[in-house]
Amino acid sequence: MSNVPDELAYSAEHEWVSGEPDAGAEVTVGITEHAAQALGDIVYVEAPRVGDTVVAGEVCGELESTKAVSELYSPVSGTVTAVNESLEASPETVGSDAYGDGWIFKVELTETATDLLDAEAYAATIA
């Protein structure tokens, strides 16, 4: 069974959000352990760039594994403020530390995120 930390919020597309998802706040985004396990060995991460605008529910990048290529959806709307540059050299970190050093990007929210799931609701979707 995948780890689903209580302190995070989740999207139906298997991304997690750390931080208060309120307009004006900065949050951190990554993919869930469940998604990382389903992908297998991640060999490439294409994240949005700093300054890019992302929209909740829309594709903003992709993850490539030895099994497949999967689209990365933004769980929130706003402006990208940081990208995890270490993933260029070590994309496997997304799979080995999904909720820690495997974060993908940070966003300053332009609106409050309302479609996120809490840990209990997300765990129910992957059960």
Chain-centre distance for alpha carbon 80: 12
Structure tokens at 23: 């307009």
Instruction: Specify the fold of 9-113.
Output: OB fold (Dihydrolipoamide Acetyltransferase, E2P) (2.40.50)
The model's pTM is 0.96
Domain ranges of the chain: 9-113
The partner residues of 70 in beta bridges, in order of sequence, read 63
State how far the Cα of 43 lies from the Cα of 109, in Å rounded to an integer: 29
Q: What is the pLDDT along the chain (127 residues), one digit of tens a residue?
A: 579 999 999 999 999 999 999 999 999 999 999 999 999 999 999 999 999 999 999 999 999 999 899 999 999 999 999 999 999 999 999 999 999 999 999 999 999 999 999 999 999 999 9
Residue 1: its pLDDT value, please?
A: 58
Do residues 60 and 79 touch, judged by C-beta distance below 8 A?
A: no
